[in-house]
Amino acid sequence: MNIALVSYLPCFLFLLLMGSIRGVKKRKKSDNDNKDAIATTPFPFYSQPHHPSDSDWWYHFSKRITGPLARSKDIEKFESVFKISRKTFNYICSLVEKDMLAKSSGCADLNGKRLSSNDQVAIALRRLSSGDSLTTIGNSFRVNLSTVSHITWRFVEAMEGRGLCHLSWPSTEMEMEEIKSKFEKIRGLTNCCGAVDSTHILMTSPTVDPESSVWLDSEKKCSMVLQAIVDSDLRFRDIVTGWPGSVSDDHVLRSSAFFNLTEEGKKLNGGKKILPDETMLREYIVGDTGFPLLPWLLTPYEGEGLSNVQVDFNKRVAATQMVAKRALSRLKEMWKIIGGVMQKPNKHKLPRIILVCCILHNIVIHLEDEVLDDMPLCLKHDSDYQDQTCEFVDDTAYAMREKLSLYLSGKLSA
């Protein structure tokens, strides 16, 4: 759908039409061609700056930083400013350099000095990672507010096309088997392929906005939902965003492309596990009580008077689903533009900013960036929010959960 044709529609209806984040924008054919080319290119690991001539880029760039940031005791340490290593920074620059230079004619600092691609990526990454205002970023890097805004958005557009290969569902059986093996090592859940969870991206909204009430979530905060399926290494494998905070986890899931593809047998359709009583255990993901119990989505038992077997199963699910909570916590901690409260964001652009932050999160993991070693494993990605409850239970899924619970407790006989 041509976005221009629906730009006059109410924001909520626009987001309904968008569906999954991957349908937010139709890119030009050339961009799709480039994305396909990237997806088939071996993943490069840069241990040196992208260009030999850039070897002292950071030295000169850091000297141009002003304001409170310049007075930081760690200002000479690249990682303290951008929360990523030079290796990761160089790789990101290599992805978007062509696009940033092609779309940034006239981008210059307050002294009229043309900004290099490294300069622009640095400004955009600082904006995304710190969450600082356009004014603060502009003052720190000696550029005006409109330039910061322009560069950040161009970076988001470039990363959408060039970096999307880093956010994808496992494409081979070998890759999926490795994920299953790692999940099983957590608390024994065999044939588990992922964990799903949701978080709220907080924002302010003008009180005169006639649609503002739809963005109020259960805690009466204005927010946008991000739902993510995460693998055992905390990578995002599938995300859905753009929905107002008032929409339930169940509804977001059922409206996603992932749900439709799985129901059609096109995802989670790999190898089955045969239990001792000959029950076939299909591939599945785990979620909390806010999600429906489905043949491919197992959730905890609810209610009082649970048996020891059921209590044990709930503990296993909770421990396994923790990877999703850790991933969302790390996302918000590392990319603070979506970790705080965004001031009156463009709700059409925000889903794409969230997507790019998820892509950057995955790139940091792919490159085994050493900054991860210093990051605490916080689990509070949605402070003050109560767990949701979904009452839908699929009979087939209920029976499968029973068999798996008995198997895990050693009480399922042949």
Task: State pLDDT tens for residues 327-386.
Answer: 999 999 999 999 988 888 888 999 999 999 999 999 999 999 888 777 666 667 777 788
- Which two structure tokens, joined as six digits, stand for 368? 């085994």
Same structural domain, 196 and 84: no
The CA dihedral of 79, 84, 88, 92, to the nearest 10 degrees, is -110
* Rounded-to-integer distance, Cα 414 and Cα 408, Å: 14
Nearest to 256 by CA among 16, 27, 25: 16
- Between the alpha carbon of residue 208 and those of residues 205, 212, 215, 329, 365, the distances in Å are 8, 8, 13, 32, 42
- Determine the length of the chain: 414
Structure confidence at residue 213 (pLDDT): 84
- Between the alpha carbon of residue 202 and those of residues 186, 259, 272, 331, 339, the distances in Å are 31, 25, 40, 14, 8
357 part of a folded domain:
no
Structure confidence at residue 17 (pLDDT): 35
147 part of a folded domain:
yes
* Rounded-to-integer distance, Cα 395 and Cα 375, Å: 42
Same structural domain, 151 and 244: no
Phi-psi group of 184: left, alpha or beta (phi > 0 → left; psi -120 to 50 → alpha; rest → beta):
alpha
Nearest to 273 by CA among 196, 180, 406: 180
Q: Half-sphere exposure (CA, 13 Å, Cβ side) for 55?
A: 2
Structure confidence at residue 75 (pLDDT): 65
Same structural domain, 152 and 218: no
Which of residues 149, 166, 183 is at a domain's end? 166
207, burial (CB in 10 Å: exposed 0-12, middle 13-18, buried 19+): exposed
- Which two structure tokens, joined as six digits, stand for 252? 């977001």
Task: Enter the DSSP assignment of 251.
Answer: H
Same structural domain, 154 and 203: no
Same structural domain, 141 and 204: no
DSSP three-state, residue 62: helix
Q: Where are the alpha helices (DSSP H) in 52-107?
A: 57-64, 67-70, 78-82, 86-102
Same structural domain, 86 and 184: no
259 part of a folded domain:
yes
Q: Judge contact between 198 and 290, C-beta under 8 A.
A: yes
| Predicted TM-score of the model (pTM) | 0.86
Same structural domain, 60 and 178: no
List, run by run, the mean pLDDT of 10-residue segments along the chain (414 residues).
32 40 41 38 39 68 84 76 92 95 78 91 96 94 94 96 95 96 97 97 74 86 96 97 96 97 97 94 97 98 95 97 95 94 88 98 93 70 82 94 96 79
Which of residues 115, 146, 166 is at a domain's end? 166
58 part of a folded domain:
yes
80 part of a folded domain:
yes
Same structural domain, 105 and 179: no
257 part of a folded domain:
yes
21 part of a folded domain:
no
- Identity of residue 270: G
Nearest to 99 by CA among 25, 171, 12, 160: 160
| Domain ranges, residue 301 | 173-350+368-408
Same structural domain, 200 and 217: yes
Nearest to 297 by CA among 306, 308, 288, 310: 288
Same structural domain, 114 and 260: no
Same structural domain, 105 and 214: no
* Rounded-to-integer distance, Cα 85 and Cα 370, Å: 7
* Rounded-to-integer distance, Cα 55 and Cα 193, Å: 42
Task: Enter the DSSP assignment of 41.
Answer: S
Block residue for tokens 């652009």: 349
Which of residues 150, 166, 182 is at a domain's end? 166
> Rounded to an integer, what is the distance from CA 93 to the centroid of its chain?
20
- Which two structure tokens, joined as six digits, stand for 216? 């109020």
Nearest to 288 by CA among 213, 211, 390, 216: 390
Strands 192-203 and 280-281, how do they pair?
unpaired
Same structural domain, 96 and 233: no
Please count the structural domains in the chain. 2
- Tens-digit pLDDT profile for residues 105-128: 668 888 888 999 999 999 999 999
What number of other Cβ atoms are within 10 A of residue 173's Cβ? 10
- Which two structure tokens, joined as six digits, stand for 95? 């992805």
314 part of a folded domain:
yes
